[in-house]
Amino acid sequence: MLIKKPSDIKPSEITDKDVYMNRRKFMQAAGSLALAGVTSPLLAKPSTQGGSGQKLANVIKTDYKVDRPLSDYKDVTTYNNFYEFGTDKKSPAKTAGQMKTKPWQVTIDGEVEKPGTYNLEDLMKPHPLEERIYRFRCVEAWSMVVPWVGFSLGDLLKRFNPTSKAKYVEFTTLFDPKQMPGQRRTVLQWPYQEGLRIDEAMHPLTMMVVGLYGEVLPNQNGAPLRLIVPWKYGFKSIKSIVRIRLTEKQPQTSWNISAPREYGFYSNVNPTVDHPRWSQKKERVLGASFFAPKKPTLMFNGYADEVAGLYKGMNLRKFY
Amino acid sequence: MQTRYKILVFIACLIPFALLVFDIFTDSLSANPVEDITHRTGEWALHFLIVTLSITPLRGITGWQNIQHVRRMLGLYSFFYAVLHLSIYLLDQSFSFDEILTDILKRPYITIGFSALLMMLPLALTSNRFSMRKLGPRWKRLHSLVYVIAVAAVLHFLWLVKADTLEPVIYAIVIVLLLAWRALRQRHMNRLNS
């Protein structure tokens, strides 16, 4: 186990106001860039296949690291499950460029004292951006290692004062078949929906992501705002979020609606509970040699020390 | 003339394999090459199975007798790509006997896919003139196993996809049409004979 806890320095102690202001300026610049991209197809095109190409300023390095090498940037940005842009892995990188991520608004409502719809910039403003290197394990038994950029979801939620009835958090992806061609067919129930228990959502590992490899999040990776829950299968980490609703009841989730026997609400990475159709014991680490054997999958994807306590006394075979 | 035409088809059938090798050596596969190769060889096994099954209806419709001569070769190519498909799967499992056996016994899509390949084996072994002569009318009966294989192959595909069933459903429709054509023709023949 090489996962270390970040230091106890408060973000406010390392990020002063000037830095905030700089980031604000950067966000505005990024905004106008994106706008230019929308109005000029010539400008928009190059950003589709690769990444966003826009560096994020003032990203704080953290001690969240893993004992495996980082995946290739190219692999992370061209091998994506993002069914809103097609069900094969290559489509999102080709077609997600057309999605307009500026301006972007997120509604935070339900069991909070301060519900409302906010511009993404305003939501992000108080949060210093951190780089965290996490393992990423897909339910399809492959894995990557990604340096995400973002901040803890818990810090964001606290600002809206969840009420005592807030037991769960429900997330919703943008629904716009014009921009998301995959939504023109009902492969899954649209819009994509995911959920977490409130303690899972407040866990420091749970992250709101706005970038990777120090860059603005590429569209195919779920721009402009996505979730990352490193101890759960990848599909829990919902992309292109437009709504965060705190609820008293357990929210419905898209894959659970589609195949309840195969995709449970929890979907914690667990090598001892197989997917009904394939084994979860091992994973193919992408980027490794073609002949490299698969690696054993770790309980909670290697984050057992941090998160096993959340599930004390629960039968993880039943709550898969 | 016929030999030249056969050689041409033989080479054409190797193109998907050549492209795959080219993509491997130029690093143009996806981030998950094992998955890529598994999918592509599986798809080509299914394509060749469909092409093989299309020969008889095509001949019936167009009256083009010559294509009959490549049917066995096309069937063997389906087997060739299916064997590649299986080999890559075995490699993916690091040839671990335990895990492969568990997969075959526990996972319906692997059970049926593996069965399809096993059923192909006797057909591949008897796809030569010697066996045809030796087996006589039994050869035809044995080779009608190809219909079962086709159904098994498409179920193998259908049972492995996560949510998007469009592609396997298209294959299923094509195979149903090819089998239906035969059933209808058989009925027509029976009516003519009675």
Number of alpha carbons in the 13 Å side-chain half-sphere of residue A116: 11
What whole-number percentage of chain B has pLDDT above 90? 75
A74 Cα to chain B: minimum distance (Å): 8
Task: Say if CB B108 and CB B159 are below 8 A apart.
Answer: yes
A191 Cα to chain B: minimum distance (Å): 15
Residues A72, A77, A81, CA angle at the centre, nearest 5°?
A: 120
| Structure-block tokens of residue A222 | 């779920």
Query: What per-residue confidence (pLDDT) applies to A172?
Result: 98
> Mapping DSSP to helix (H, G, I), strand (E, B) and coil, where does residue B128 land?
coil
Instruction: Give the chain B residue whose CA is nearest to the CA of A144.
Output: B31
Walk across the sheet containing A116-119 and list its strands. Answer: A116-119, A105-110, A241-247, A168-173, A193-197
Query: What per-residue confidence (pLDDT) applies to A50?
Result: 60
- Residue B116: count of CB within 10 angstroms of its CB: 23
Best residue of B26, B32, B102, B155 to probe chain A, by most A CBs closer than 10 Å = B32
What's the sign of the alpha-carbon dihedral B113, B114, B119, B123? positive
> Which of B32, B160, B164 has the CB atom closest to A284's CB atom?
B32
Closest-CA residue to A197 (of A164, A158, A160, A169): A169
Chain A residues within an 8 Å CB radius of B103: 278-279
> Which of B30, B91, B102 has the CB atom closest to A89's CB atom?
B30
What's the sign of the alpha-carbon dihedral A262, A168, A307, A203? positive
Chain A residues within an 8 Å CB radius of B107: 277-278
Chain A residues within an 8 Å CB radius of B163: 83, 87, 187-188, 255, 258-259
Cis peptide before A6 (omega within 30 of 0): no
Instruction: Give the chain A residue whose CA is nearest to the CA of B96.
Output: A293
Q: B134-179 pLDDT, tens per residue?
A: 999 999 999 999 999 999 999 999 999 988 999 999 999 999 999 9
- As averages over each run of 10 residues, the pLDDT of chain A (320 residues) reads 46 40 42 40 42 87 94 95 96 95 96 97 96 98 97 97 98 97 95 98 98 97 98 98 98 96 97 94 90 92 97 94
Which amino acid, one-letter code, is at A20? Y
ipTM associated with this complex:
0.85
Instruction: Produce one character per residue of A74-94: b if its CB has 16 or more CB atoms within 10 Å, e if not.
Output: ebbbbbbbbbbbbbebbbbbe
- Decide: residue A12, CB within 10 A, 0-12 exposed, 13-18 middle, 19+ buried: exposed
State yes or no: pLDDT of B4 exceeds 90.
no
Q: Beta strand pairing status for A241-247 and A105-110?
A: parallel
Contacts (Cβ under 8 Å, ≥6 apart) of B67: B55, B58, B59
Q: What is the mean pLDDT of residues B39-66?
A: 93
CB distance A259–B163 less than 8 Å? yes
B6 Cα to chain A: minimum distance (Å): 35
Q: B60 pLDDT band (50/70/90 cuts)?
A: confident
Q: B92-147 pLDDT, tens per residue?
A: 888 889 889 999 999 999 999 999 999 999 999 999 989 999 999 999 999 999 99
Query: What per-residue confidence (pLDDT) applies to A4?
Result: 45
Instruction: Give the chain A residue whose CA is nearest to the CA of B109.
Output: A277
| Structure-block tokens of residue B80 | 């060739």
Chain B residues within an 8 Å CB radius of A83: 163-164
Contacts (Cβ under 8 Å, ≥6 apart) of B95: none
- Asked if A140 is an interface residue toward chain B (Cβ–Cβ < 8 A), one would say yes
> Which of A278, A286, A293 has the CB atom closest to B31's CB atom?
A286
Instruction: Give the chain A residue whose CA is nearest to the CA of B162.
Output: A259
Which residues pair with residue A278 across a beta bridge?
A275
Best residue of A286, A289, A291, A295 to probe chain B, by most B CBs closer than 10 Å = A286
- Asked if A187 is an interface residue toward chain B (Cβ–Cβ < 8 A), one would say yes
Fold of A11-269+300-311: Sulfite Oxidase; Chain A, domain 2 (3.90.420)
> Which of A76, A188, A279 has the CB atom closest to B163's CB atom?
A188
How far is B21 from A128, CA to CA, in rounded Å? 47
A185 Cα to chain B: minimum distance (Å): 9
Best residue of A91, A254, A279 to probe chain B, by most B CBs closer than 10 Å = A279
DSSP strand E in chain A: where? 60-61, 105-110, 116-119, 130-137, 142-152, 168-173, 193-197, 207-212, 215-216, 226-228, 241-247, 282-285, 295-296
Instruction: Give the chain A residue whose CA is nearest to the CA of B33.
Output: A290
- Residue A214, by phi and psi: left (phi above 0), alpha (psi -120 to 50) or beta? left
Task: Say if CB A96 and CB A239 are below 8 A apart.
Answer: no
Task: Say if CB A123 and CB A106 are below 8 A apart.
Answer: yes
> Which of A79, A188, A277 has the CB atom closest to B30's CB atom?
A79
List the domain boundaries for chain B: 2-193
Size of the A and B interface in Cβ pairs below 8 Å: 55
**DSSP H helices in chain A:** 11-14, 17-39, 41-44, 46-49, 73-78, 91-95, 120-124, 153-158, 198-202, 254-258, 304-307
List the domain boundaries for chain A: 11-269+300-311
Q: What is the mean pLDDT of residues B34-38?
A: 93
Query: What per-residue confidence (pLDDT) applies to B153?
Result: 97
What's the sign of the alpha-carbon dihedral A19, A60, A149, A36? positive
